Structure 1
Amino acid sequence: MPLDPQIQALLDKGTGVPATHTLPVDVARAQYEARIALMAPPAAVADVCERMIDGPGGPLRLRIYKPLGAGPFPLLVFFHGSGFVLCSLDTHDGMCRNLCAGAACVVVSVDYRLAPEHKFPAGIEDCLHAVRWAAAHASELGADPTRVAVAGDSAGGNMAAVAALRLRDEGGPALCAQLLLYPVTDYHTPGTPSYEENAEGYGLSRDTMKWFWEHYLSDPAQGAHPHASPLRARDLAGLPSALVITAEYDPLRDEGELYAQKLRAGGVRTALSRYDGVNHGFMFWVGVVDKAGVAMKETCAWLRGALAAPHHS
C-alpha cells in the first residue's frame, strides 16, 4: 500500500538531515537523541528507577519501570535498537513506559555497551547478563521469576533473539516469550528482496545498515555466526513463543519474516504481524502515527497473554 501520510510527514521533517552512514558516530548519536523532543508523551507508570550492576565489561546501567497496580508482575527485559551503535535508555524511554503500562509488566531496559567502542559480542554479553540478573532479582523488583520475557526493536530485536538462543543453550533462566520488533536477524550480504526494494527513501537505508554492521563486527566473517545473525542458527526448537512485528517499507522486513517462518518450522509458537504503509522504527511514534498505536496495542495484548500464567518449560 502507499506510504502512510503520517509516516511521510515525519520523513519530510527529516529532509535535508544528513544520512546516518555519512556521519561520525558521535554526531549520529546526537542526531538520534534529538528525536526524543518529537515524540508524544508516553503512558503513565507507577515508578521508574535506575540500578547499576556489575556487568561483564564493568558497571551496567539498568532502568526499571514498574506498572500501576499490585504485583508480582511479569518481567520484560528490553534491549533498545539502532544498529548496535546508536540510541540509549533515553531514546527508548517512551517505548518502555508504553510496554510497562500496556502489558502490566516490570520492564528492565538495558544500557548495553555499544559499537564501535565495544564490538560483537560485548553488547549481547551485557544483555544476557542483565536477563540473568533480572530473573535472579525478580522478587525485589516486584516481578515473578517464572514469567520472564525478552524484547527489543531493530538491533535490540537481534539482541532479544540471540539472548533467547543463548539462554536455551547456556543454562537459562527459562523464558516464556520473545518480542521482536522489526528485528535484525541476518547479515546484510547477500541480503533479501526488501533490502533492494527499500534500499533508500524510507528512513533506514541499506547503506546505513552496512555502516552499522561494519561498526559492530571486527571481521565480516562474524556475520555468519548465529549469535550475530540468529537467522543462521541451525536449530530454533525449544525457544520461547514469539511475536515478530515487521514494516512494509523496511529493508529488514524480509529477514524478520524469514525468522518468524523458521521459528514456526522449529515448532515455536510464533505470531507475525506485518504493518503496511509504515517504515522501520514506526513504533517510536505512538501518539503521532496511528498505526504505531495499533501495533503497540497488539504487542501489549500479546505480551499479556504470553505472560499470563506462571510458565515452566
Structure 2
Amino acid sequence: MTQLTNEAIRYIEDTDTGLHYYEMTPQEARASRTVPKWQSALAPTLASIEDKKITVRDDSKINVRIYTPVNEKMLPIIVYYHGGGWVFGDLESADAGCQLLADKAQAIVVSIDYRLAPEFPFPTPVFDAYDALLWVHEHAAELNGDPSRLIVAGDSAGGNLATVMTHIAKQENGPAITAQALIYPVTNTNFTMDSYKKFGAHFGLDIQGMEWFSGHYSISENLANPLVSPLQAKDFTDLPKTILLAGEADVLFDEGVSYAEKLATAGVEVKHIVMPGLIHSYFSKMEYFEKATIETVEKIAAFINCPSS
C-alpha cells in the first residue's frame, strides 16, 4: 500500500476542496493557479535570468526565459517545457525548477512559454516547442552553450512535449539531442492503465482532470497520434538516453513505466526512478515540495552529466 509523504498529504488536503479546475473554464482555471515566487535560502545564485521573445513558424512571437549559471565555460543546454496539461502553466510555474536545473546541472536552461490550448490546440504547442528547440540550437553560441550537448526536459505535459521533440528531431534530421529528462510525463491518452484505477481520484491529478486537459488539447481522433501519445510511436530506436522520474502515487505512473520499457527494449539507455510517496505535480510546487524538487533536479543533473554507458 502506498504511504504518502506528509507534504503530499498536506497538498491534497489544501487543494482537494471546493471547485476543481476541471469544473471551470480554462481561463478561470489559469487565474486560480498562479504560482507564488520562490523565495528560499536554498535558491541558487545565477549569473543571469533573461526573458526574450522568439519568432515561430506562423510569425507569432513566444516568450523564453534563459537561465545562466555562474560558469564561464561553454555549457550544455537544457530546453525545458513546463507542465499544466497543455492548458495552463507558464514561465513562472517552471521558474524554481529551472533555476535549480541551471545551478545543479551547470547548464544553460531555456524555458519555453509555448502557446496553450484550447486557444491554441494541437499541433500548435508541438510546433512552438520544436521551433524553440531549433532556435536554441541555432543560437547556442550566443547563449554560451554547446550545441553538441543539447538536452530536452519537462514535467507532465511538458514531459510529453520533450519526448515528442526527440521523435520529431530524429524524423526530420533535426538537432542531435543527447538526453531527455522526463518528470512524470504524459505518454498516452487513453486513461485505462491500472494506475488510473489506483490513483484516479484525490491524488493531485484526477482522471477527470486528464480527460479535461486532453479534450482541450486535441480532438479525440488525434489522441492516438504519436505526437500526442508518444507511447503509440512505432520506432523507439536511436532516441537519446533518458531519465524518467515518477511520483509513486500518480495516475500517469504506468504509462511512464511502459514508455521506459519501450525505450529499453529498443536499446536506449534508460533510468526510471520512483519518488516514494509523491503525487503528480509535485515538481516546482515549492511551498509544499521544495525538498523533493531539489532531489529530483539533483538526480537529473547527475544523469545528464554522466557519460553514456
Compute the displacement of 1:15 (Å).
4.0
Which residue of 1 is the match for residue 254 of structure 2? 254
- How many correspondences in the alignment? 304
Q: Does 1:18 align with 2:29?
A: no
Which residue of 2 is the match for residue 228 of structure 1? 228
Compute the displacement of 1:283 (Å).
1.9
Which residue of 2 is the match for residue 28 of structure 1? 29
Which residue of 2 is the match for residue 154 of structure 1? 156
Distance 1:42 1:154 in 2: 23
Which residue of 1 is the match for residue 80 of structure 2? 78
What's the TM-score, normalizing by structure 1? 0.93
Residues 264 and 270 in structure 1, CA contact (< 8 A), matched pair in contact too: yes
| Structure 1 vs Structure 2 CA RMSD | 1.6
**Structure 1 residues 143-222: aligned runs within 5 Å:** 143-189=145-191, 191-217=192-218, 219-222=219-222
**Structure 1 residues 254-293: aligned runs within 5 Å:** 254-285=254-285, 288-289=288-289, 290-293=291-294
% same residue: 32
Aligned mate of 1:115, from 114, 117, 129: 117
Which residue of 2 is the match for residue 45 of structure 1? 46
Aligned mate of 2:132, from 130, 133, 143: 130
SS in 2 for 1:68: coil
Distance 1:286 1:21 in 2: 23
CA spacing shift, 1:85–1:39, aligned 2, 3 Å: farther
Distance 2:253 2:293 in 1: 16
Which residue of 1 is the match for residue 239 of structure 2? 239
How big is each residue's C-alpha offset from its partner over 1:66-113, in whole Å with a ceiling of 9 and x where there is no partner?
011112110000000110001101111111101111100001111111
SS in 2 for 1:305: coil
What's the TM-score, normalizing by structure 2? 0.94
Distance 1:46 1:303 in 2: 21
Distance 2:285 2:212 in 1: 24
Distance 1:21 1:192 in 2: 21
Compute the displacement of 1:17 (Å).
4.1
Distance 1:253 1:43 in 2: 30
How big is each residue's C-alpha offset from its partner over 1:182-216, in whole Å with a ceiling of 9 and x where there is no partner?
00000134x20001111111111100000000000
Residues 286 and 296 in structure 1, CA contact (< 8 A), matched pair in contact too: no
Gaps of 5+ in 2: none
Which residue of 2 is the match for residue 140 of structure 1? 142
Residues 99 and 105 in structure 1, CA contact (< 8 A), matched pair in contact too: yes
Which residue of 2 is the match for residue 294 of structure 1? 295
Distance 2:89 2:18 in 1: 17
Distance 1:306 1:42 in 2: 27
CA spacing shift, 1:234–1:15, aligned 2, 3 Å: closer
Distance 2:288 2:103 in 1: 18
Aligned mate of 2:98, from 96, 99, 107: 96
Compute the displacement of 1:285 (Å).
3.8
Structure 1, 280-289 or 175-184: larger mean CA deviation? 280-289
Compute the displacement of 1:288 (Å).
4.3
SS in 2 for 1:94: helix
Moved over 4 A (4+): 37-41
CA spacing shift, 1:302–1:198, aligned 2, 3 Å: same
Aligned partner letter, 2:228: A
How big is each residue's C-alpha offset from its partner over 1:198-249, in whole Å with a ceiling of 9 and x where there is no partner?
11111111000000000000x2010111011000000110101000011111
Residues 184 and 245 in structure 2, CA contact (< 8 A), matched pair in contact too: yes
